[in-house]
Amino acid sequence: MSDDIRRTLFEHEEPPVTASTAPAPPVPIAEPDPVRQVDAEPEPDAIEEPPAGRGRNPWLIVLWVLGFVLLAVGMWGLVQAAERAADPTYVMVEGYGSEQYRAPGVEDFYVVPIILASLAPWLVALGIGSIIAAATVHAVHWSRR
Amino acid sequence: MTPVRALFAIGGAIAIAGLVACAATIYTYLSEPYALSSTSGLMVFYESPLVNSSDPGQLVQYAPFVFGAGPVVLVAGLATVLAAVALSAALWTGRASR
């Protein structure tokens, strides 16, 4: 084959690629596929079951809340009982401002102060006991970890 | 019924019994005033509207109020319920109990 014919046939042909001049093929960067990630089954080593008893303990929350509520109500009752015992003569009339007073009824004078004085110390004791119990349960669970 | 639930039920029943006892004591006290007497030494009040709303202006006398065993029963019930809550918190494992 003459050189003219060869040039006509192969003028657009790329020069032969050798191993030394060949550029490295681009490394495909793997894009994270959310669907594939969700559907992909995790490896057995990655599975980590939450140990029993490590979540939020609802009874412990109830115990904390009850403790503080009982303590607050008991303290309020103690204060109210002391105020009523200090000045049982007149009772402020609700809804008429702080200047309006009326003569106390038997409920104001005898019943309510006795109820408050009877129950408030017990409520304070129960509240403190609940808080101590909740702290104790926390301590026991902490020592088991 | 588990023992903890039984403790809840017993505590609730005791607390309700205490509440009923307190309410009964208060109602009995308010509904049985003394007639006016200048020699009794008791304080004079208007009759309580809680038990006599028809004649609220009537003057009567009341002896000092004395609570019975109602508050003690009520507190015992509350203490039992709190003990059940504390027991539930201590025994809780994170799994639904049957």
Q: What is the rounded CA–CA span in Å between residue A77 and residue B88?
A: 29
How far, in whole angstroms, is CA A4 from its chain's centroid? 84
More confident residue, A57 or A43: A57
State how far the alpha carbon of B54 is from the alpha carbons of A76, B47, B50, B57, in Å: 34, 10, 10, 9
Tell me the one-letter amino acid at A132: I
Which residues in chain A have Cβ-Cβ distances shorter than 8 Å to B94? 50, 52-55, 57
Instruction: Tell me whether A60 touches chain B (CB under 8 Å).
Output: yes
Q: What is the pLDDT of residue B20?
A: 95
- What's the average model confidence in pLDDT over A32-49? 48
Say yes or no to pLDDT of A18 above 70: no
Q: Report yes or no: A73 at the B interface, CB cutoff 8 Å.
A: no
In a domain, A70, yes or no: yes
User: Is residue A122 domain-resident?
Assistant: yes
Mutation target among B58, B67, B95 for the A interface, most CBs of A within 10 A: B67
Q: CB–CB of A62/B85 below 8 Å?
A: yes
Test A137 with B50 for CB contact under 8 angstroms.
Answer: no
Do A114 and B67 lie within an 8 Å CB cutoff?
A: yes
Q: Mean pLDDT across the stretch A75-79?
A: 93
Domain ranges of chain B: 3-62+70-91
Query: What is the spatial distance between Cα B29 and Cα A112, in angstroms, rounded to a whole number?
Result: 13
- Predicted ipTM of the assembly: 0.82
Higher pLDDT, B29 or A49: B29
Residues B12-40: pLDDT tens digits?
999 999 999 999 999 998 888 888 888 88
Interface residue of A62, A110, A132, A143 to substitute, partner B, most B CBs within 10 Å = A110
> Which structural domain range is residue A129 located in?
66-88+105-144
Give chain B positions within 8 Å (CB) of A55.
Answer: 94
In a domain, A71, yes or no: yes
Search chain A and give the residue with CA nearest B43. A106
- CA distances A115 to A74, A123, B29, B45, Å, are 12, 12, 13, 19
B12 in A contact zone (CB under 8 Å): no
Q: How far is CA B40 from CA A2, A105, A114, B47, in A?
A: 148, 19, 22, 17
Average pLDDT over residues A28-50: 50
Decide if B45 and A62 are in contact by the 8 Å CB cutoff: no
Alpha-carbon distance of A143 to B19, in angstroms, equals 40
pLDDT of residue A83: 81
B22 Cβ under 8 Å from any chain A Cβ: yes
Based on the structure, what is the number of domains in chain A?
1
Judge whether A82 lies within some domain.
yes
Alpha helices in chain A (DSSP H): 3-10, 34-39, 58-86, 106, 112-144
Asked, for residue A75, whether it belongs to a domain, the answer is yes
Contacts of B42 (CB under 8 A, 6+ apart): B34, B61, B62, B63
Per-residue pLDDT band for A108 (boundaries 50, 70, 90) equals confident
* Contact (CB<8Å) B89/A63: yes
Q: Which residues of A touch B26 (CB under 8 A)?
A: 111, 115
Do A105 and B46 form a contact (C-beta atoms < 8 A)?
yes
| DSSP state, residue B95 | S
Q: What is the pLDDT averaged over residues A3-25?
A: 54
